[in-house]
Chains A and B, each alone.
Chain A
Amino acid sequence: MTADVALLEVTDLRVRFGGVDVVDGVSFALAAGERVGLIGESGSGKSLTALAVLGLLPPGARVTGSARLHGRELLGGSDRELSRLRGRELAMIFQEPSTALNPLMRVGRQISEPLRLHRGYSRTAAATAAVEFAAAVGLPDPQRLVRSYPHELSGGQRQRVCIAAALACRPALLIADEPTTALDVTVQAEILALLGRLVSEAGTALLFITHDLAVVAAVTRRLAVLRHGRVVETGATDDVLRAPADPHTRELLAAARLTQWDLPTAESAAARTSP
């Protein structure tokens, strides 16, 4: 029976700001361990959808509809209930790892904080775990690095710290909002590969929010395209990107293809390595 229940089920979600529905009846579902992309241009409502699910909308927003995690309603829950879920069942990473991290706290403590809060780790157990997690996300010299502060790290390293903290409690769902948009393209490739590997290891489902169609192709199996707060198209990532049905998706795709140059050798290499 549990297999029939979606991990996350969002139904007719509306977010209203000053009389305008900026998210206007969005519905989608994610199964356990699944990777789904939410794509759209700026202002399409993709980030607000994520924030609504997380209970992190700015004050003044009115939310209606439903978002259920394991069948439990998230919308309208108390801060206390949501805080218990966030970090344990539900985790997130954002575009700007520098603002997501506390500048005054050593990165090791930030990585292990969810373990202390939700899993009752002792100070020493958390410190040991922080080093292990730092190593697992590919941070160099983890013993020393956990003692440094966020400003001493590069943008890519900071995002690795955020990923380590987000996945520390092996949450059922990770919401990633443009996690590589602020990074250089070579760093982006590393972070995407790391994220893909770790969510499969942890069995975590991934809701990946991005404006970048090529990035979504690299990470997700299914996607929903948002425009003006509505889902205009859903489907398997490959199908939608090969033959989009919605005119808006078609326009986005044509625009994205403009800057994809022909590279026959890389093309065939990619075709060979993809499953």
Chain B
Amino acid sequence: MTAAREQAGGDATAAETAETAEAAVPLFEAEGLGRSYRLPRTSPFGPPGVRHAVHEVTLRLADGAALGIVGESGSGKSTLVRLLLGLDRPDAGTVRYRGRPVVPGRPRALRWFRREVQVVFQDPAGSLDPRMTVGAAVAEPLACLGVPGDHRERVDEVLRAVDLDPDVRGRYPHEFSGGQRQRIAIARALAPRPRVLVGDEPVSALDVAVRAQILDLLGRLAQRHRLGLVLVSHDVGVVARLCDQIAVMRDGTLVEQGATDAVLSRPAHPYTQALLAAVPRLPPP
């Protein structure tokens, strides 16, 4: 699939038009997305309160683009990710992936979607089974998604892609540092050859030097494999580094979205302005 995309521009014009048609369909499209939760009643006779964790969110991820969703705690960014991934049912609006609706609760119908959209979470210690060897953990999604054949070669390939020695496949997660564990989690996500990588605070638990390496790795992988990227972070700097599109979230709504450069240099919404002004700066070198 990737090879076909890379070869386009060579001989076949048919392939080229097919490619442009494909590129026109965005990877993700969310329309008027909403998800609310009931809060406890404040009085025995009163109605229960409602919290709009996500409210009227509309966004779009073009093929091969990188979208960063920035917000502070409680802004609804994790709920939004759960909706995009089809892990939670929206109570308003729709999510489409490459033109097809993402409807949670139908594992079989979502299998192709699961194969194309892979996730990396904040805490690699929590997302890797401590009793599973690295090799088994990386191969697991392939087995679950029904990819036929022996996965050994693919496991070695993705371990190399994240700059790990394939010989680590027989070892266990606890033998690795936090940064290496996050590399393993990324290898696992890459194994089924996804089109989109979703990162939910993927570098937030890491020390600054390791964080820089993982950011660099994610950027390289996204470019090499033409991956779409959805990156959720509380850290504007992380999004600025990796994403060409940014969406700023607050209290469940997107207050501002656009090209990262434009939003960062000329933030229009007062909240974005306050958020950017609050980020501590290093003195220039």
Q: Which residues of A are at the interface with B, using a C-beta cutoff of 8 A?
A: 41-42, 184-189, 192, 211-215, 217-218, 238, 241-243, 251-267, 270
Q: How many residues of B contact A (CB 8 A)?
A: 30
Query: B285 contacts the other chain (Cβ, under 8 Å)?
Result: yes
Q: Across the interface, do B209 and A185 meet the contact criterion of CB distance under 8 Å?
A: no
Q: Across the interface, do B283 and A241 meet the contact criterion of CB distance under 8 Å?
A: yes
**Dominant SS among interface residues on chain A:** helix
**Chain A proximity of B279: nearest CB distance (Å):** 6
Known: A184-B234, A185-B72. Is A255-B281 also a contact (CB below 8 A)?
A: no
Q: Which residue in A241, A252, A263 is a CB contact (below 8 Å) of B265?
A: A263
**Chain B proximity of A101: nearest CB distance (Å):** 19
Q: Across the interface, do B208 and A186 meet the contact criterion of CB distance under 8 Å?
A: no
Q: Across the interface, do A258 and B212 meet the contact criterion of CB distance under 8 Å?
A: yes
Seed contacts A41-B208, A189-B280, A214-B279; 18 additional CB < 8 Å A-B pairs: A41-B207, A185-B275, A192-B280, A212-B208, A212-B280, A217-B281, A242-B285, A255-B211, A255-B212, A259-B235, A260-B282, A261-B236, A261-B237, A261-B240, A261-B241, A266-B277, A266-B281, A270-B281
Would you give 5 A-B contacts (Cβ < 8 Å), ordered by A? A242-B284, A256-B282, A259-B212, A261-B264, A270-B281
**Dominant SS among interface residues on chain B:** helix
Query: B4 contacts the other chain (Cβ, under 8 Å)?
Result: no
Q: Across the interface, do A265 and B235 meet the contact criterion of CB distance under 8 Å?
A: no
Q: Across the interface, do B208 and A185 meet the contact criterion of CB distance under 8 Å?
A: no
Q: Which residues from chain A contact B282 at a C-beta distance below 8 Å?
A: 213-214, 217, 241, 253, 256-257, 260
Q: Which residues from chain A contact B212 at a C-beta distance below 8 Å?
A: 254-255, 258-259
A258 to B218, CA, bound (A): 14
Query: B134 contacts the other chain (Cβ, under 8 Å)?
Result: no
Q: Across the interface, do B208 and A211 meet the contact criterion of CB distance under 8 Å?
A: yes
Interface bits B246-285 vs A (CB < 8 Å: 1, else 0): 0000000000000000001100000000111111111111
Query: B73 contacts the other chain (Cβ, under 8 Å)?
Result: yes
Q: Which residues from chain B contact A254 at a C-beta distance below 8 Å?
A: 212
Q: Across the interface, do B211 and A186 meet the contact criterion of CB distance under 8 Å?
A: no
Known: A242-B285, A258-B212. Is A186-B275 also a contact (CB below 8 A)?
A: yes
A243 to B284, CA, bound (A): 10
Known: A41-B207, A186-B72, A252-B208. Is A259-B278 also a contact (CB below 8 A)?
A: no
Q: Across the interface, do A263 and B264 meet the contact criterion of CB distance under 8 Å?
A: yes
A2 to B72, CA, bound (A): 47
Interface bits B195-218 vs A (CB < 8 Å: 1, else 0): 000000000000111011001100
Q: Which residues from chain A contact B184 at a C-beta distance below 8 Å?
A: none
Query: B103 contacts the other chain (Cβ, under 8 Å)?
Result: no
Q: Across the interface, do B237 and A42 meet the contact criterion of CB distance under 8 Å?
A: no
